[in-house]
Amino acid sequence: MRDIPKNVYEEVRAEYEASLKIPRNKPKKQFFVLPVGLVGAGKTTVMKPLAEKLSLLRISGDEIRKILHNRALGYDSVWEVGKDLAEKYAKEGYSIAHDTDSANPKTIELATKMAEKLGVKLIWIHINPPEEFIINKLLNHKHTWLFRDESKQ
**Closest to 39 measured CA to CA, from 142, 112, 146:** 146
105-129 pLDDT tens trace: 988 998 999 999 999 999 999 999 8
Cα 73 from Cα 141, distance rounded (Å): 24
65-75 pLDDT tens trace: 999 999 999 88
The CATH H-level (homologous superfamily) assignment of domain 35-146 is P-loop containing nucleotide triphosphate hydrolases (3.40.50.300)
Average pLDDT over residues 58-79: 92
Average pLDDT over residues 4-11: 92
pLDDT for 150 beyond 90: no
pLDDT for the residue numbered 43: 92
Q: Which residues pair with 32 in a beta bridge?
A: 96, 122
pLDDT for 61 beyond 70: yes
Average pLDDT over residues 22-47: 91
Asked if residues 47 and 35 have their Cβ atoms less than 8 Å apart, the reply is yes
Asked if residues 74 and 131 have their Cβ atoms less than 8 Å apart, the reply is no
